[in-house]
Chain A
Amino acid sequence: MAAPCFFSRLWRAALALLALGSLAASQIEDQAKQFFRSGHTNNWAVLVCTSRFWFNYRHVANTLSVYRSVKRLGIPDSHIVLMLADDMACNARNPKPATVFSHKNMELNVYGDDVEVDYRSYEVTVENFLRVLTGRIPPSTPRSKRLLSDDRSNILIYMTGHGGNGFLKFQDSEEITNIELADAFEQMWQKRRYNELLFIIDTCQGASMYERFYSPNIMALASSQVGEDSLSFQVCPKSLCVSTPGHRTDLFQRDPKHVLITDFFGSVRKVEITTETLSLQRDSQITESSYKEDRMDEELMEPLKYAEQLPVAQIIHQALLAEVWTLPSAPCGMLGSRSWPATFTETEAEGLAPPWGLHSRPVGPYHHGFLQDLWNQAHEVHFLDSRVREGRVEDCSLG
């Protein structure tokens, strides 16, 4: 009597386990679909360098390094608002014009050929910065100068310059305080202009800037604590120069351990396969008439000859090197002293084709001058990658 009961119970337990197992499998599958995890559909970056003058070269270099990283990982220029307070590349004191290097070994030119600076020189002011963040921009502003984020945008905000306890100096003449910044973020939050925000501040006493935040979904990183200067480990060893990075994650709703760097630094679209089509009626009239027009065009035009194209494919298709996936070390301790966690290399690296791959070794001395001009004309080559080249003064006078 007991046996059938026992077996039926066992059977039920087995079924329950199976159901649980399949549920777990589908759950794992859901987790594996990391696309939809953070709930964002697009990425924006606001990169601000607030100092001018030649002796603040490093700030411009830092900002451009972040710009290059963010662009390599997929955020297009239309979604990056780059504010540089001074022009270092074409500064009269630059021994290598049209270049900005991120390390004293002058290996990586972060300026390159395709920098798109949205706010330059004296346009980098506290007011403009706050207008960009809050969206209260005069209607005549072009689209490239706007932060057109929505409630599903993850925004990366990187600021560098000279700072103090509770403020950041803009262009030697004005300051933005941490309360102002917190209020600006609150205005962004009220209008749902961001899904999640990563705020990185790379200045002296940077941790004071994020003390006053009170809006949700903000994660903040700073390169130095209150009372410390933010110093570069390139220049000064760790034993002498104390610069401790700080962070603030209490306002962030997800567990930081599960946050991918590419949630903020890269931009991966959510994509769906189109499975349906409409059925349209074929209209025979139009095809005939268009065919006739084309025939006429053809007779008028001369036959085209195609010149030998550059062996771009051979140059571009080089193997991705794993060691290359480190951020160019920026001369302000925080970024250079860490290597990115493992999740970074696994996620989106495989799908990226080599044009967007990273080369840290110089491509060769023949890649400047004549080839440069040709490449500028052939629009298909967007060398986001930087390589060593001798800058020419003519590059600067074009601007």
Chain B
Amino acid sequence: MAAVGAAATHLDVVRGKRAALFFAAVAILLGLPLWWKTTETYRAPLPYSQISALNALQLRLMVPVTVVFTRDSIPLDDQEKLPFTVVHEREIPLKYKMKIKCRFQKAYRRALDHEEEALSSGSVHEAEAMLAELKEQAEGSLTVYVISEYSSLLPQDMMSYIGPERTAVVRGIMHREAFNIIGRRIIQIAQAMSLTEDVLAAALADHLPEDKWSSDKRRPLKSSLGYEITFSLLNPDPKSHDVHWDIEGAVQHYVWPFLNALSAAGNFSVDSQILYYAMLGVNPRFDPTSFSYYLPMHSLPHVINPVESRLGSSAASLYPVLNFLLYVPELAHSPLYIQDMDGAPVATNAFHSPRWGGIMVYNIDPKAYNASELPVRVEVDMVQVMEVFLAQLRLLFGIAQPQVPPKCLLSGPKNEGLMTWELDQLLWARSVENLATATTTLTSLAQLLGKISNIVIKDDVASEVYRAVAAVQKAAEELASGHLSSAFVASQEAVTSSERAFFDPSLLHLLYFPDDQKFAIYIPLFLPMAVPILLSLVKIFLEMHKSWRKPEKID
């Protein structure tokens, strides 16, 4: 009986040990990995290697130039060699992590008959008119016509001419080294019309490490999908001045043509408003010598802030807003002039602030006060006003005065106020800026994910990142092959996708869990389960240890 009982308990003990071991096995082999996996922050896979490769991307900006030689421009034996292609590549020396190379691909060819005819007309403008009818030029490309050294198309002392569309005219030379000399001239012209180091430095100004304090580089607006332009008329003294401005007509006739010419760079929307009793925040000072009031230059920065709160620009849209204010000074402070640093009144009577907009002071002709009683009816001369506002708009966009090479005639501006190759310059600069921004955003996202372990990456965020990477690569390819418009579109897509991925609200899904709080959460769950298992394991181990020793002792 005792033996059976002993055998039974022995069996129970063995069963108990096996059960304990089984529990432990399940807990450790199955439970722990399962718990670890299910409490991980979800991170959809991201192309980290591709993102780090983007930093070392080499940007090659290709400008296709077609060079057309007329009959008398170069020596005959050089003419025999046409057509052929010459490539001029130069690295832009900027302290930026991406290497940027500028490549001018010049395709030399002979002039066709109609081109010869056009280039032998009387003036450059006629020639251009005839040439422009014939073909549309792709964005980013240039055509340079080489005319004879003694041609009368250009004024005698001018060696070259830059036209408003994407064409230029250069004088040829009868010399052995004709191609080299002309080639250098063409490069100078092509650089002025497309890409110079300054243009790219301005575009990358936010990404370059040094020199934050140059004013030229900090003027342009950041690249964005769209812009909102607001024209405001400020009338602080409606009792004296009954101001009327035909803003709709002016916008229709002057602003929209300009914006349509710029339409490749973004969506624009324009609105206008009139604010009454809106005063400047600064008191003008009286100048007894000229019986006028003036605003000294150092007080100009204080003008903007008090007025800005009343402009309602925050309600307009989520795009960056450019404000253009026209201030008609009150009767007590008329006429009002803006003084520059030397104390001289500014010709335009206007000033602007980078990335904000511009303000112009419109003085009323004193003769208007003679006859009538107050309020005096004032018709604002919109042409004078729009000349200043459009010039400010150009500056705010970063369309600088072109750097023409010496002895070069620059054509007068077009009606719209924007030359086509200036738009190309803007698109080049914006494409490079977009690529830089997109790359920085993606790299920062990758770095952040490495540093902070609590950020969740959902699948749609991951797909945005993939899309952004693909768009950056596509934009780089298009830039290298000289297709400017598709490169710009791809770069915009890259920026939008990368910003959407970075600023997705779901990335903040899990707020911070400090380690000690994690212990506090899991210990009450695991400890009651783990303690019996561990104790039984220890007991089993001790018994096994004892049973090993016993046989040794016996033996």
Residue from B218, B281, B309, B514 in contact with A352 in the complex, judged by beta carbons closer than 8 Å: B281
Whether A177 contacts B514 in the complex (CB less than 8 A), given A267-B305, A274-B392, A279-B413, comes out as yes
A113 touches B (CB below 8 Å): no
Q: How many residues of B contact A (CB 8 A)?
A: 89
A234 touches B (CB below 8 Å): no
Cβ B283 vs Cβ A353 within 8 A? yes
Cβ B212 vs Cβ A78 within 8 A? no
The distance in angstroms between the C-alpha atoms of A267 and B360, with both chains bound, is: 21
Cβ A379 vs Cβ B441 within 8 A? no
Cβ A151 vs Cβ B448 within 8 A? no
A185-218 residues at the B interface, CB under 8 angstroms: 186-187, 190-192
Q: DSSP majority for the B interface?
A: mixed
Cβ A272 vs Cβ B354 within 8 A? yes
Residue from A36, A134, A187, A355 in contact with B215 in the complex, judged by beta carbons closer than 8 Å: A36
Q: How many residues of A contact B (CB 8 A)?
A: 72
The distance in angstroms between the C-alpha atoms of A77 and B297, with both chains bound, is: 25
B178 touches A (CB below 8 Å): no
Cβ A191 vs Cβ B441 within 8 A? yes
B46 touches A (CB below 8 Å): no
B352 touches A (CB below 8 Å): yes
- Mask, A118-144, CB within 8 Å of B = 1, is 000000001100110011111000011
Chain A hits for B346, CB < 8 A = 273-275
Cβ A380 vs Cβ B306 within 8 A? no
What's the minimum C-beta distance from B344 to chain A, rounded to whole angstroms? 10
Chain B hits for A281, CB < 8 A = 415
Whether A144 contacts B508 in the complex (CB less than 8 A), given A272-B215, A273-B340, comes out as no
Whether A291 contacts B391 in the complex (CB less than 8 A), given A78-B308, A136-B507, A270-B353, comes out as no
A75 touches B (CB below 8 Å): yes
A37 touches B (CB below 8 Å): yes
Whether A379 contacts B277 in the complex (CB less than 8 A), given A179-B514, A269-B356, A274-B350, comes out as yes
Nearest CB in chain A to that of B280: its residue: A353
Residue from B219, B249, B306, B383 in contact with A280 in the complex, judged by beta carbons closer than 8 Å: B383
The distance in angstroms between the C-alpha atoms of A309 and B356, with both chains bound, is: 32
The distance in angstroms between the C-alpha atoms of A39 and B304, with both chains bound, is: 19
B386-413 residues at the A interface, CB under 8 angstroms: 386-388, 390-392, 394-395, 401, 413
The distance in angstroms between the C-alpha atoms of A137 and B500, with both chains bound, is: 11
Residue from B213, B350, B395, B504 in contact with A136 in the complex, judged by beta carbons closer than 8 Å: B504
Q: Which of B131-139, B154-162, B184-192, B310-318 contacts A (4 or more CB under 8 A)?
A: B310-318
The distance in angstroms between the C-alpha atoms of A286 and B318, with both chains bound, is: 33
What's the minimum C-beta distance from A285 to chain B, rounded to whole angstroms? 9
Chain A hits for B338, CB < 8 A = 273
Whether A276 contacts B215 in the complex (CB less than 8 A), given A136-B504, A286-B253, comes out as no
Cβ B309 vs Cβ A76 within 8 A? yes
Nearest CB in chain B to that of A43: its residue: B305
Residue from B308, B315, B360, B379 in contact with A76 in the complex, judged by beta carbons closer than 8 Å: B308
Q: Which of B63-71, B87-95, B236-244 contacts A (4 or more CB under 8 A)?
A: B236-244
- 6 cross-chain pairs, A with B, having the tightest CB-CB distances, nearest first: A380-B277, A39-B212, A190-B444, A290-B246, A351-B299, A286-B249
What are 18 A-B contacts with C-beta separation under 8 Å? Answer: A36-B215, A78-B308, A127-B508, A130-B508, A136-B503, A136-B507, A179-B512, A183-B454, A186-B448, A268-B305, A272-B219, A274-B388, A275-B348, A276-B395, A355-B281, A356-B306, A379-B310, A382-B310
A191-B502, A192-B206 are known; give 20 further A-B pairs, CB within 8 A. Answer: A136-B503, A183-B451, A183-B454, A186-B452, A190-B445, A272-B352, A273-B338, A273-B346, A273-B348, A274-B351, A278-B387, A286-B250, A290-B246, A306-B239, A351-B301, A352-B282, A354-B283, A356-B306, A380-B279, A382-B306
